[in-house]
Amino acid sequence: MTAHPATQSIDPETLIAGLAREGRAAQRQLAAMSSDARAHALTLAAQRLRDDSAAILAANAKDLEAGRENGLSPAMLDRLALDEDRLSSIAAGVEAVANLPDPVGEVIGSDERPNGLKLSRVRVPIGTIGIIYESRPNVTADAAALCVRAGNAALLRGGSEAVHSNHAILAALTAGLEAGGVPGAAVQLIPTQDRAAVGAMLTAAGLIDMIVPRGGKSLVARVQSDARVPVLAHLDGINHTYVHAAADPAMAKEIALNAKLRRTGICGAMETLLIDAGFTEARDLVTALIEAGCELRGDERIQALDERVTLASANDWDTEYLDAVLSVAMVDGMDQALAHIARHSSAHTDVIITSDDAAAEQFLIEVDSAIVMHNASSQFADGGEFGLGAEIGIATGRLHARGPVALEGLTTYKWLVRGSGQARP
Amino acid sequence: MTAHPATQSIDPETLIAGLAREGRAAQRQLAAMSSDARAHALTLAAQRLRDDSAAILAANAKDLEAGRENGLSPAMLDRLALDEDRLSSIAAGVEAVANLPDPVGEVIGSDERPNGLKLSRVRVPIGTIGIIYESRPNVTADAAALCVRAGNAALLRGGSEAVHSNHAILAALTAGLEAGGVPGAAVQLIPTQDRAAVGAMLTAAGLIDMIVPRGGKSLVARVQSDARVPVLAHLDGINHTYVHAAADPAMAKEIALNAKLRRTGICGAMETLLIDAGFTEARDLVTALIEAGCELRGDERIQALDERVTLASANDWDTEYLDAVLSVAMVDGMDQALAHIARHSSAHTDVIITSDDAAAEQFLIEVDSAIVMHNASSQFADGGEFGLGAEIGIATGRLHARGPVALEGLTTYKWLVRGSGQARP
Q: Are B56 and B221 in contact (CB under 8 A)?
A: no
* Residues in chain A closer than 8 A to B262 (CB atoms): 423-424
pLDDT tens-digit map of B316-356 = 999 999 999 999 999 999 999 999 999 999 999 999 999 99
3-state secondary structure of B262: coil
Q: Tell me what ipTM this predicted complex has.
A: 0.94
A120 and A266 inside one domain: no
* Residues in chain B closer than 8 A to A397 (CB atoms): 230
Q: Are B417 and A372 in contact (CB under 8 A)?
A: yes
CA distance B378 to chain A (A): 9
A204 and A332 inside one domain: no
CA distance A59 to chain B (A): 34
**From the candidates B232, B351, B415, which should be mutated to test the interface with A, based on the most A CB atoms within 10 A?**
B415
User: What pLDDT is attached to residue A139?
Assistant: 92
CA distance B91 to chain A (A): 23
**From the candidates B28, B412, B417, which should be mutated to test the interface with A, based on the most A CB atoms within 10 A?**
B417
Q: Which of A402, A153, A352, A383 is nearest to A239 (CA)?
A: A352
Number of domains in chain B: 2
* Residues in chain A closer than 8 A to B387 (CB atoms): 111, 113, 119
Distance of alpha carbon A100 from alpha carbon A89, whole angstroms? 16
A169 and A292 inside one domain: no
CA distances for A129 relative to A41, A110, A211, A220, A341, angstroms? 19, 28, 6, 16, 33
- Computed over every residue of chain B, the mean pLDDT equals 95
User: What pLDDT is attached to residue A193?
Assistant: 85
3-state secondary structure of A101: coil
B366: closest chain A residue by CA: A32
B18 and B100 inside one domain: yes
Task: Report the 3 state secondary structure along B105-146.
Answer: CCEEEEEECCCCCEEEEEEEECCEEEEEECCCCHHHHHHHHH
DSSP secondary structure string for all residues of B204-260: -BTTB-EEEEES-HHHHHHHHHH-SS-B---S---EEEEE-TT--HHHHHHHHHHHH
Q: Do B375 and A419 touch (CB under 8 A)?
A: yes
pLDDT tens-digit map of B134-150 = 878 999 999 999 999 99
In this structure, is residue B349 part of a structural domain?
Answer: yes
B346 and B369 inside one domain: yes
List the helix and strand counts (H, then E) for chain A: 15, 16
Q: Which of A340, A365, A131 is nearest to A233 (CA)?
A: A131
A373: closest chain B residue by CA: B417
Ordered per-residue pLDDT tens for chain B, 425 residues? 444 544 557 899 999 999 999 999 999 999 989 999 999 999 999 999 999 999 999 999 999 999 999 999 998 899 999 999 999 999 999 999 999 999 999 999 999 999 999 999 999 999 999 999 987 899 999 999 999 999 999 999 999 999 999 999 999 999 999 999 999 999 999 998 888 999 999 999 999 999 999 988 899 999 998 999 999 999 899 999 999 999 999 999 999 999 999 999 999 999 999 999 999 999 999 999 999 999 999 999 999 999 999 999 999 999 999 999 999 999 999 999 999 999 999 999 999 999 999 999 999 999 999 999 999 999 999 999 999 988 899 999 999 999 999 999 999 999 999 999 999 99
In this structure, is residue B424 part of a structural domain?
Answer: no
A124: closest chain B residue by CA: B368
Q: Which of A133, A148, A161 is nearest to A65 (CA)?
A: A161
B131 and B271 inside one domain: no
A249 and A212 inside one domain: no
B172 and B267 inside one domain: no
DSSP secondary structure string for all residues of A268-300: TSEEEEEEETT-TTHHHHHHHHHHTT-EEEE-H
When CB atoms are compared, the residue of A119, A374, A404 closest to B419 is A374
B139 and B177 inside one domain: yes
* Residues in chain A closer than 8 A to B364 (CB atoms): 416, 418
Domain that holds residue A332: 239-382
In this structure, is residue B390 part of a structural domain?
Answer: no
pLDDT tens-digit map of A279-304 = 999 999 999 999 999 999 999 999 99
User: What's B182's domain CATH number?
Assistant: 3.40.605.10
B117 and B182 inside one domain: yes
* Continuous H helices in A52-137: 53-69, 74-80, 84-98
3-state secondary structure of A187: strand
When CB atoms are compared, the residue of A127, A248, A416 closest to B372 is A416
Q: Which residues of chain A have pLDDT under 70?
A: 1-8
User: What's A276's domain CATH number?
Assistant: 3.40.309.10
Q: Are B384 and B391 in contact (CB under 8 A)?
A: yes
Q: Which residues pair with B132 in a beta bridge?
A: B157, B213
Q: Which residues pair with B75 in a beta bridge?
A: none
Q: Do A403 and B415 touch (CB under 8 A)?
A: yes
User: What pLDDT is attached to residue B8?
Assistant: 53
